[in-house]
Amino acid sequence: MRIIAGAAKKRRILSVSKKSGVRPISARIRQSLFDILRPWVPGSRFLDLYAGTGAVGLEALSRGASRVVFAEFDPRCLKVIEKNLSRMGFQDRARTYRTDVLQELRWLRMQEGESFDLIFFGPPYVDARKRPLRLVGPTLEQVARADLLSATGWAVAQHHAKEGCSAEGWVLFRQQRYGDSRLSFFRRVPGDLRKVGHGA
């Protein structure tokens, strides 16, 4: 797995063992994602939730994002992300946090001090027993409650093609399908950057 474009183009991305259960984003989907996001990545504040190997956030840094935050629960993944940041010289524009994305995230908004322009999340499709998890809606709810996305920002989810994805206060405005996976693009409903994010 390698960086596709930008300052670190063709640099190899260290990964975790396949036994860890982490499902890295494919190069095809990552290429398509950044083809769509290309005009908005340079100078952006980018949040990579369920970061896994960190490939998406690293690609954003390579393409000129001003800051990327990686949120991941598995400490093995966080160690690999930090190694990749060091190898590529991106430490000064990045931060890693160990967290369960489905728990309260307001602390992240307070810690970072600003919202994000772009948020990507690719949660696991299934649990240890291969049962569908359907985490897109719950994740969007957490993002809204914590007020993590800027008023004009986009949230992008990678999920199983059979998973319906919707959440109150969000507009799904674009989808791309790749085999059994989809990328779904969301904006906040205008005027709904409310109360939800501010504890009301």
Dist CA 120 CA 154 (whole Å): 9
Q: Are 35 and 60 in contact (CB under 8 A)?
A: no
Which pairs from 133-138 meet CB under 8 Å and 24+ separation? 134/163, 134/164, 135/102, 135/159, 136/163, 136/165, 136/167, 136/184, 137/165, 137/166, 137/167, 138/102, 138/167
The angle formed by the CA atoms of residues 109, 70 and 39, to the nearest 5 degrees, is 90
Mean pLDDT of 43-48: 98
pLDDT of res. 125: 78
Tens-place pLDDT, residues 145-198:
999 999 999 999 999 988 888 788 999 999 999 999 999 999 998 865 544 443
Per-residue pLDDT of 67-113, as tens digits, reads 999 999 999 999 999 999 999 999 999 999 999 999 989 999 999 99
* Reported confidence tier of residue 132, pLDDT bands at 50, 70, 90: confident
Angle at 149 between CA 145 and CA 153, to 5 degrees: 145
Phi, psi of 104 (to 5 degrees): -55, 130
Domains and CATH numbers, the chain: 26-198 (3.40.50.150)
Which pair of tokens denotes residue 47? 């949040």
Does the reported pTM lie above 0.85?
yes
Which pLDDT value is given to residue 195? 45
Q: What pLDDT score does 126 carry?
A: 76
Average pLDDT over residues 126-138: 84
Q: How far is CA 153 from the centre of its chain?
A: 13
User: What integer pLDDT is reported at residue 13 of this predicted model?
Assistant: 95
Residue 197's pLDDT is what? 40
Question: What does the alpha-carbon distance between residue 58 and residue 63 come to, in Å, rounded to a whole number?
Answer: 9
